């Protein structure tokens, strides 16, 4: 039985936001391994530089830039730094953990700014060049929280990711006639530094038990789907939000456990 050739991105430039660590870092490494020139963008400039150095040390092509995706001028500078942007992955995200009545309005706004306005600004900035060339791939990193709720994060995160899935659909409709594909990946529980900071071992074990596949996803699991959606093999996928969750959406937690997590995060 023959197998498809590995995905290749030779001659393409991929910009990945929030790429210094976690899912974004795995995505950046995946594109570089496939021959793309990668721009590692992250609010933490030093961490972005270190991540780019990791890629170049193993023969990949990468540069880095410190970027706040909520700042239009910085987003424009990112696009100018990259030059031609063939692939954009909107991965940068933050969260809060409080229940709604304990959530500070400024914290609410900041989460929506990073998680939803950031992808809007980055996408808007790359669209003219993509339209001119008649080619582009935009992949938004949403969450299974968009389709239900977040167990670990707060309502601001859930709302931002639901908005990102809706934005993905709308932008896909507008961009498809010009040869631009827009899709989203919805990770389930992923063993990233962010999750490790938010959850103790007992909670992580409970999360594992909730996943029919029997394990938490890795950043590399998410990167595999992102690379596929950014490849020419996925040309007929338009406005999709693909769950990469090991079946986690097939089950859920009881409300007592949900509020125990909230009380513990105070």
Q: How far is CA 27 from CA 38, 40, 254, in A?
A: 10, 10, 33
Question: What positions carry a catalytic annotation?
Answer: 157
With beta carbons less than 8 A apart as the criterion, state whether 87 and 130 touch: no
**Token pair in block for residue 153:** 């994060």
Residues of 96-110 as b/e, b for ≥16 C-beta within 10 angstroms? bbbeeeebeeebbee
Q: Cα angle at 39 between 38 and 43, to 5 degrees?
A: 145
Nearest to 95 by CA among 71, 114, 81, 68: 114
Place of tokens 């529980």: 189
């Amino acid at each position: 039985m023959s197998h498809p050739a590995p995905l290749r991105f030779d001659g393409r430039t991929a910009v990945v936001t929030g790429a210094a660590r976690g899912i974004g870092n795995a995505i950046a490494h995946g594109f570089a391994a496939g021959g793309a020139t990668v721009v590692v963008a992250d609010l933490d400039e030093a961490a972005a530089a270190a991540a780019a150095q990791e890629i170049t040390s193993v023969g990949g092509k990468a540069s880095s830039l410190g970027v706040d995706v909520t700042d239009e001028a910085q987003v424009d500078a990112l696009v100018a730094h990259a030059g031609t942007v063939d692939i954009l992955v909107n991965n940068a995200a933050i969260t809060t953990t409080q229940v709604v009545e304990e959530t500070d309005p400024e914290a609410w706004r900041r989460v929506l700014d990073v998680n939803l306005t950031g992808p809007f600004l980055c996408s808007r900035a790359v669209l003219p060049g993509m339209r001119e060339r008649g080619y582009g791939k935009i992949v938004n990193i949403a969450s299974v929280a968009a389709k239900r709720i977040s167990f670990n994060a707060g309502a601001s995160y859930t709302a931002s990711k639901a908005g990102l899935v809706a934005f993905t659909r709308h932008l896909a409709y507008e961009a498809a006639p010009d040869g631009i594909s827009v899709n989203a990946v919805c990770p389930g529980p992923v063993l990233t530094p962010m999750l490790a900071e938010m959850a103790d071992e007992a909670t992580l074990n409970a999360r594992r038990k909730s996943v029919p596949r029997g394990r938490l996803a890795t950043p590399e699991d998410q990167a595999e789907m992102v690379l596929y959606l950014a490849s020419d093999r996925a040309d007929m996928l338009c406005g999709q939000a693909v769950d990469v969750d090991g079946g986690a959406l097939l089950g859920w937690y009881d409300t007592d456990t949900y509020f125990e997590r909230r009380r513990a995060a105070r």
